[in-house]
Structure 1
Amino acid sequence: MAGTTIYEFDALLATPRSGPIVAGVQVVPPQVYAWLETQALRVAEKHKAPWLRLTQRQGQRAVQVTSFVGVIRSPDGYQIEVLPKVAKVINDGDVQARKLLLEMLRCLGRFRHIQTDSANLMAAHMPLLEVFIAEFLRSVEQLIKRGIYSDYTTQQDNLFALRGKLQIATHMRRNLCRRDRFFTEFDEFTPDRLENRLLHSALLQVLSWTCSQRNQQLARELSFVFAGIPISPNPSADIQQVRLDRSMAHYLAALAWARLILEDKSPLTGAGGHDAPSLLFPMEAVFEAFVANHLSRQLAQGFTLQEQARSLSLVRHIDQDWFRLKPDLLVQSSKVNRLVLDTKWKLIGAKQATGSDKYGLAQSDFYQLYVYGQSYLDGKGDVILIYPKTESLDNVLPAFYFPKSKGLRLWVLPFCLKDKRLLLPECGSLDAIFFNTPQPYAGFQDLLTVRDNH
């Protein structure tokens, strides 16, 4: 299947003009471009955070992918792989960019099932979509080895032998002249249940998507196991009804993947109001989850990390709290707020230390952190902006002070994606709260549900 690989904020053209194609621009087939342009118009009409927008490049119309990563698949099967921009800046190449993204996705609840070693090996040879499909097929294969779950379901049928409970009224009406038939209601032990129908539907879906011979073969073999089970007539509705108990814990990974495959929307739609195809993820949310996951292991004893705090509001009006203040991360000690942290998936430069450039920092982010500091820290202490570490931001910036506050200070700290740690000020101001290196995982217990709260 034809396709191309791009990075965040790259642009796509239908046909190239004369002359070389500039960096950050790729050419796609005209029918694919027409579909993308239609999607960009629809997103703009809905006034939601756009995953795609109209622009122009080299004197002609173009579409630009925004801060979303993953896979875009057009109706004719053309695949556009979108990778994180940070990997492009540090010249890691497509393979390392895929590995980085897979590592970061594991910090999202439903993607913790990615087996990093096997996925990274596949990422060196396969596009991202094929890696996702292979991970789904692997989870279904493991499920089958542990056994497909069956259960008793109540059925009614007109049988040649009495089975279960005779439905006298219906039997008399339908079999008045057929003494060889019995209309009965009975319980049958069958694998035809909602979860298995969803998995069968997802297997058939990926079989139509994959171009990998290995994935095609495995998908056919697994589909054969589910051959006697019908597909789900309404996957979106069925997914909402799934409730897994401990006896079906081995279904967790496969159903999490099936949900992503069958639902035609971004996995984080509910959290951020995004409207994007499945298997396409807002990098801001991915980065936030990645930082939160690893930053919790860098905290000193006695400190806890809270995600998406929302206990305070900006104003109170008519006995109602308006404009919730929701910092990405909040560090507490003995239920006392100690640090407010916000993650920013932006590229800034430490060498741009001028009054006009201001390192590429946004004034609105400083306003936001100032309000968080006033509300959650009573106007004194430290607030932190976390950016990805790059060659242009490889160390902590000098502290920023809010002169009219009680002693509120802002730090801009890089987070190293490879080492999975937050770089700390050399002055030691935050050493009482953070270790310099993350501590080992203490372990975790899987949630027995395919619905997460992210």
Structure 2
Amino acid sequence: MPNIQVFEHSFLAIEGDFGQRHFMALSKLNAFHNDKYFCIRHNGIKFKQYVGVIQVDGLTIEILPKIDNHNGDEALWQKALIEMLRITKKLKVQKVDQANVNRQNIHLLDLYFEWFLNEVQSLIHQGLIKEYYKETRNVKALKGKLEFAAHISKNLVHKERFYTTHQVYDKDHLVHQILSKALDIIEKCTKGNYLYSKCKTVQLDFPELKNISVTEATFSKIPKTRKTAPYETALAISKFIILNFAPNISSGSENMLALLFDMNNLWEEYILARLKQSDREVTVYGQQSTQFWNGISIRPDIVIENGLHKFIIDTKWKNISYSQPSTHDLRQMYVYNDYWKSTKAILLYPSNETKFDGFIKFQDHHIHKHTIYNEEKIEQHECGLGKISIFEDDQKTLNQNIGNEIIDWFISPK
């Protein structure tokens, strides 16, 4: 199966493995999602800030993050994306180097499919649960509630049958039907792939079930009980797979599966997760909101508490090659400081190298009064511009110490 790797915000022309039928399928997918994933050009696709993987008509397109115009190492950025998804718990691999990323033509779909298959195999080994559910059909013995009108119309000839609504206790219930639907999708998407035989093995061990139509509303009907608790991870992955499977969007009868993530949101969640891993004595919160005006609320990306002090972080996934942030962003940080009684805020950007030159005070007469150790101390709003690298200095190893580095900017600023 052909595999194309591209970077966010890059252009993919209609040529080679990427043909007209793929272009038409992606155009329909984009229109279905209100044109948020790509910009459609007359001879190709211009990607936006969404990263992940799309599979359509035998072609896999993997969209990778990138923060500069110099380092075009696809393997490095694939590894970085997998690590960000792992840290934010959107993907389960024990370690990036163990994720089989060196296997030829491996991509994110393989990792999600393998995760799901492993979860289902584990459930099978534990023993699949039985559930009670109601069934209405003809039976040879009277049980449950006799549906009189339907019984008369269906059984005028067959007097030995009864048309009833009754309870059944077996494995053919909603939870397993959803997992089975996800297995069917994986079977379609892995033909010719190393996971195909594993999927077929899991399907053979899975019971025969009714084929149901699964929508987002279907997942809200899943009972949350002690018996279904072990199924939570498998159901979460199946929801991700099923709801992103679009068999009717692609051109012709080919199936399409698109797993895409907004890098702005993923960057924010990644930084939040790294901060929570820090060994500094602080408390970290994500997206605390407060009322601003007429029912409109505001919320900074990250709030850090250190004793009586609060600090604000607003993450921006974009390459800021200049030294000055936008006026809009600075005004936003001023408001966050004001509403959260914070005196220090940082606009945080990704970069090739980590750099922080300290805080600069806002030039105004609005000041905060903080009571510290029973003494009144007057402090003024400050904001800093922080650039952080997700890699170590060698630009090949992922930086595990990001959280400590960022917190130290607040606690021990330069």
- TM-score of the two chains, using structure 2 as the length reference: 0.80
Q: Residue 381 of structure 2: which of 408, 412, 416 is its match? A: 408
CA 1:72–1:119 in structure 2 vs 1: closer, same or farther (change >3 Å)?
farther
Give the C-alpha shift of residue 115 in structure 1.
2.3
Matched, 1:167 2:153: no
Report the counterpart of residue 3 of structure 1 in structure 2. 3
Instruction: Give secondary structure in 2 for the equivalent of 1:202.
Output: helix
Give the drift of 1:174: 6.0
Give the C-alpha shift of residue 383 in structure 1: 0.5
Shift of 1:338: 0.7
Selected match of 1:358 from 319, 323, 330? 323
Q: Which residue of 2 aligns with 1:83?
A: 64
SS of aligned partner of 2:95? helix
State whether residues 277 and 403 of structure 2, in contact with CA within 8 Å, keep that contact through their aligned partners in structure 1. Answer: no
Q: Secondary structure at the match of 1:247?
A: coil
Work out the CA distance in 2 between the residues paired with 1:364 and 1:86: 22
For the pair 1:382 / 2:344, whether they are aligned, the reply is yes
Question: 1:368/1:164 Cα in 2 relative to 1: closer, same or farther (>3 Å)?
Answer: same
Q: Mind listing any 5+ residue stretches in structure 2 that lack a counterpart?
A: 247-255, 368-379, 391-397
C-alpha offsets along residues 335-362 of structure 1, whole Å, 9 cap, x if unaligned?
x66111111111234xxxxxxx436x33
For the residues of structure 1 that align with 2:178 and 2:14, how far apart are their CA atoms? 37
Residue ranges of structure 1 left out of the alignment (5+ in a row): 17-26, 267-275, 350-356, 434-454
Q: Could you say which residue in structure 1 is the equivalent of 2:39?
A: 53
Once the two structures are TM-superposed, the CA of residue 146 in structure 1 deviates from its matched residue by: 1.3
- On the 8 A contact 2:5/2:62 being kept in 1, the answer is yes
1:319-349 Cα deviation digits (max 9, x unpaired) = x333x22111112357x66111111111234
2:183 paired residue among 203, 214, 217: 203
1:260 aligned residue: 240
1:256–1:343 Cα change, 3 Å: same
Distance 1:88 1:144 in 2: 47
Aligned equivalents of 1:231 and 1:119: distance in 2?
A: 38
**Which is bigger in relative contact order (C-alpha 8 A, separation at least 6)?**
2
CA distance in 1, matches of 2:306, 2:404: 21
Q: Distance in 2 between matches of 1:241 and 1:86?
A: 41
TM-score (norm. length: structure 1): 0.74
Deviation (angstroms), 1:414? 3.4
**What are the within-5 Å matches in structure 2 for residues 234-383 of structure 1?**
234-264=214-244, 278-298=258-278, 300-301=280-281, 303-313=282-292, 316=293, 320-322=294-296, 324-332=297-305, 338-349=310-321, 357-358=322-323, 361-377=325-341, 381-383=343-345
SS at match of 2:114: helix
Q: CA deviation at 1:68?
A: 0.8
- The answer as to 2:19 corresponding to 1:29 is yes
Question: C-alpha distance in 1, partners of 2:166/2:220?
Answer: 28
Count of aligned residue pairs for this structure pair? 380
One-letter code of the match for 2:295?
A: D
> Whole-Å Cα distance in 1 between the matches of residues 309 and 245 of structure 2?
36
Shift of 1:298: 2.2
What amino acid sits opposite 1:291 in the alignment?
Answer: I
Is contact 2:171–2:207 with CA below 8 Å preserved after alignment? no
SS in 2 for 1:85: coil
**Structure 1 residue identity aligned to 2:23:** Y
**Kept in 2: contact 1:416–1:423 (CA 8 A):** no
SS of residue paired to 1:345: coil
